Amino acid sequence: MAKNLLYSCLLAIICAIVTADEPSLQDFCVADFTSSTRVNGLPCLDAKFVQASHFSFSGLNLVSNVSKPLGFGFILATVARIPGLNTLGISMARADYAPGGVAPPHVHPQATEIITVIEGNLLVGFVTSNPDNKLISKVLQKGDVFVFPPGLVHFQKNVGSRNAVSIAAFSSQNIGTVLVANTVFGSTPPIADDVLAKAFQVDKAIIHHIQSKF
């Protein structure tokens, strides 16, 4: 196995040297998940090996698991599944909601989200920053579109009597998601209880109670 690895290593260098004389124009930078180098984003696959499958992914027609407690599930079509998205600053997702199901308050640190309702009725909302903390919310019908500005806390809830489905797009190929409850009450290790007691202005027993759920 060591020999194979060495061989791969040498081959990579040889390829690099062979192609060095004719650097091609770059139409895209398909992610190369086998590269040993980590960069902001991902290294690129040699354009010679790029195929249509690198720009594609199947499965946004499938219903995600919407079991308890949240009654909410989703599937991401980000650069991890579509390597061709690398460096292109966009991605997609599908979300499913049982009746009453909730996408709990969360933040995408650096991405805008735009969603459209494919089936059902969703209550959606986001809260503006301090000191206004104004909730901007709306009930969406099938075919409605809504925008969540970057870095603001937002949520969705199925307010209809049947399952709901939404398609979302994000202004990043690799969104991160900060789930407020999990981050604050369920981190590893936990945030000190007196920090949380002061922040939420309740006694530590309540903080411990919430922490025990995560």
List the interface residues with a second copy, window 61-90 (CB under 8 A).
Answer: 61-62, 69-71, 77, 79-80, 82, 84-90
> H-helix or E-strand containing 178?
strand 178-179
> H-helix or E-strand containing 3?
helix 2-19
Whose Cβ is closer to a second copy: residue 204's or residue 213's? Answer: 213
Q: How far apart are CA 211 and CA 190, in angstroms?
A: 8
Report the nearest approach of a second copy to the CB of residue 75 (Å): 10
Give yes or no for a contact between 71 and 158, defined as CB atoms under 8 angstroms apart.
yes
Please report, as residue ranges, which positions from 12 to 71 form the binding site for a second copy (by CB under 8 A).
Answer: 12-17, 20-29, 31-46, 50-53, 55-62, 69-71
Q: How far apart are CA 201 and CA 194, in angstroms?
A: 10
Which tokens belong to 129? 């920053």
For residue 152, give the nearest of 123, 91, 110 by alpha carbon: 110
Report the nearest approach of a second copy to the CB of residue 162 (Å): 15
Please report, as residue ranges, which positions from 132 to 191 form the binding site for a second copy (by CB under 8 A).
Answer: 132-138, 140-153, 155, 157, 167, 169-171, 174-191
Report the nearest approach of a second copy to the CB of residue 65 (Å): 15
Report the nearest approach of a second copy to the CB of residue 108 (Å): 8
Told to check if 213 binds a second copy by CB under 8 A, we report yes
Interface with a second copy (CB under 8 A), residue total: 145
Query: Other C-beta atoms within 10 Å of 115: how many?
Result: 23
74, 99, 105, 208: which one binds a second copy (CB under 8 A): 105
* Residue count of the chain: 214
**Per-residue DSSP letter, 54:** G
Residue 89, C-beta contacts closer than 8 angstroms, at least 6 positions apart: 171, 172, 173
Report the nearest approach of a second copy to the CB of residue 204 (Å): 13
74, 163, 193, 214: which one binds a second copy (CB under 8 A): 214
Report the nearest approach of a second copy to the CB of residue 126 (Å): 8
